[in-house]
Amino acid sequence: MSSSDNPAGLIAELDGIDGLEAEVGVPLSGYATFRIGGPADCVVRVHNQSALEALLSVTGRLELPFEIVGLGSNVLFPDEGLPGVVAQLAGDLASFRFQGTRVTAGGGMTLARLAKQSAAQGLQGLEALAGFPSTVGGAVFMNAGSYGVEIKDVLVEATVLERDGRVRQLSPEQLEPSYRQTNLRGTGAIVVSATFQLQDGNAEKALQRIEELNRRRWASLPSGRPNAGSIFRNPEGDYAGRLIEACGLKGACCGDAQISPEHANVIVNNGRARADEVLELMLQARRAVEERFGVQLVPEVQLLGPLRERWRSALGRGETGPR
């Protein structure tokens, strides 16, 4: 069954679950920093864990596609939109609480806000991650990192909800974190909360460090045009942007999508870029770098829906990009 077959029936079923807000036919471009994406069959804001468990039960029973998105800063939605349900964590799942030098936050909590609130409390450890455009759940899921600090360095435990309804508490070691990934990828598991161990420090200095690092971060990225940040992961010992620029692709365009003239590992939307245009530039960069340097760039941006298959088919390999 697709929710597009009977959207009213799906909404009626979801309306019976406390803690859910559901809408039909919502353009996904409004949920992505790329400002690209067609309509979703159904977008749901989920306010607590029991509501999320109920939602997964419904989508599982009806065999509906299900995607969970955070700030939309690391995703490329397809032009034709997505079938099924797209969910976003809110309410209790976007709250936080301090316990001494530890802070526990819901998966939907903005990482930048958590870092600033912690710094304001005189707790240090998240400053380098304050400019990372992610929710807590997304950051744990991909082991986000910036300026030499990774989530695993401060993570104590993550609470994870499996698609079959099981709830697990996982240590950093159990997540097997590495560069921009954990073993949660491809499992469908959802990080509903995480606890971090911070250190006592000086609030003023911590907030100043956040401002300093954010200035450095934003100075290195294109401003004023929608984008999703880094398109490819950096290969070991090198930088994706350097390799792409060396191939002469800086500033290359496909429709309204462009490899940024300022940073070759960023693709910008110059107005009405389509997902297929972004994908074409990604493929051009991937092929050029592999041909010249023998390096196979791996997407850092998540390719959702049919974009995964288009990427894999174009390369003729079983590679889909990160999940």
pLDDT digits (tens, 9 = 90+) for 16-48: 899 999 999 999 999 999 999 999 999 999 999
Answer yes or no: 168 catalytic. Answer: no
Annotated catalytic residue, options 3, 29, 73, 230? 230
- Within a domain: 275: yes
Neighbours of 277 (CB within 10 A): 21
Q: Name the phi and psi angles at 195, rounded to 5.
A: -115, 135
102-159 pLDDT, tens digit each? 999 999 999 999 999 999 999 999 999 998 889 999 999 999 988 889 999 999 999 9
Among 34, 63, 92, give the residue marking a domain's end.
Answer: 92
Range of the domain at 246: 227-315
Based on the fold, state whether residues 206 and 100 are members of the same structural domain: yes
For 35, 51, 108, 180, the CA distances from 71, given in Å and listed in that order, are: 12, 20, 9, 17
- Within a domain: 320: no
40 vs 205: CA distance, rounded Å: 44
Nearest to 24 by CA among 8, 37, 45: 8
Based on the fold, state whether residues 106 and 150 are members of the same structural domain: yes
Answer yes or no: 272 catalytic. Answer: no
184 vs 151: CA distance, rounded Å: 14
Among 73, 92, 111, give the residue marking a domain's end.
Answer: 92
Q: Which of 157-161, 221-225, 242-246 has the lowest mean pLDDT?
A: 221-225
Q: What is the token pair recorded at 34?
A: 């790329």
Answer yes or no: 180 catalytic. Answer: yes
Side chain identity at 210, as an amino acid letter? I
Annotated catalytic residue, options 127, 260, 300, 308? 300
User: Per-residue pLDDT averaged across 269-293, rounded?
Assistant: 98
Q: How many domains does the chain have?
A: 3
For 114, 118, 152, 222, 237, the CA distances from 216, given in Å and listed in that order, are: 20, 21, 23, 12, 21
Q: What is the token pair recorded at 90?
A: 């809110």
Annotated catalytic residue, options 35, 180, 209, 308? 180
Q: What is the CATH number of the domain that holds 306?
A: 3.90.78.10
- Within a domain: 309: yes
